[in-house]
Amino acid sequence: MNGKLMSRRRVARMLAIVPAVAAAVVVAPAVAQAACTSPTFSVYPGSGISNVRYGQVDFHFTACSNQAPSAWAASVGTAQVNSTGKNLGFFIDGVSIPTDSIGSSTRYWTGKIAASTCTPRVGFPCSRSYSMTVKFSASLDRFGNPQIYMGTRSAPTGMALFTTP
């Protein structure tokens, strides 16, 4: 009998708490979480003839659904020449990612890579300069989540921008 009395008291206590918890759940405003994405895209400049990679350039992006496209960010991460590139006199002179345009739910960037071929290890004289580009776009999908895509890549004759190491 004592066991039944204890369980009835527990049930009564729990039932007394339920309306208070339910009221708190109803009163508390629903806070929607912002959907964010932060991908990194890597391109590998190299020879378009022999398919040898000379280095790596990383572009980082951040976009959140609760921000305007003007607040979405792009930056350059890694920009390095590998040992093959160094032995062949390949240098990455500069990398940038300026904004091309911003719309109401889109943003476009162009990653620009300036490189040159010079006397290996010495760095001069240089025989050739290269300008390579890669396009990026960000937009909200039909559910309001930001998506970032790599578009076209361009490189001068004899060079290539690869997407695999």
Query: The whole model's pTM is what?
Result: 0.78
Residue 16: predicted pLDDT: 59
Mean per-residue pLDDT, 14-20:
55
Question: In angstroms, rounded to a whole number, what is the distance separating the alpha carbons of residues 72 and 34?
Answer: 13
Residue 33: predicted pLDDT: 74
* CA 113, 118, 124, 126 torsion-angle sign: negative
Mean per-residue pLDDT, 156-162:
97
Radius of gyration of the chain from its Cα atoms, rounded to whole angstroms = 28
pLDDT digits (tens, 9 = 90+) for 96-129: 999 999 999 999 999 999 999 998 877 789 899 9
Residue 149: predicted pLDDT: 98
* Confidence band, pLDDT 50/70/90 cuts, at residue 19: low
Residue 66: predicted pLDDT: 96
* The two three-digit tokens of residue 31, written as one number: 């806070």
Question: In angstroms, rounded to a whole number, what is the distance separating the alpha carbons of residues 57 and 10?
Answer: 64
3-state secondary structure the chain: CHHHHHHHHHHHHHHHHHHHHHHHHHHCCCCCCCCEECCEEEEEEEECCCCCECEEEEEEEEEECCCCHHHCEEEEEEEEECHHHHHCCEEEEEEECCEEEECCCEEEEEEEEEEEEECCCCCCCEEEEEEEEEEEEEEECCCCCEEEEEEEEECCCCEEEECCC
